[in-house]
Amino acid sequence: GSPVQKEDIFVAIKTCKKFHKDR
């Protein structure tokens, strides 16, 4: 896989959760 920064993952998870809540 490609190296992803922990911060990037944290933001992605937060965005995913926000999207799920929005829907």
The three-state (H, E, C) secondary structure of 1-23, written as one string: CCCCCHHHHHHHHHHHHHHHHHC
Q: What is the pLDDT of residue 1?
A: 67
From residue 2, give the alpha-carbon distance in Å to each of 5, 8, 11: 10, 12, 17
Q: What is the mean pLDDT of residues 7-20?
A: 88
Percent of the chain with pLDDT over 90: 13
Residue 3: which pLDDT band, with cuts at 50, 70 and 90?
confident
6-23 burial, b at 16+ Cβ within 10 Å, e below that, comes to eeeeeeeeeeeeeeeeee
Confidence check: pLDDT of 22 > 80: no
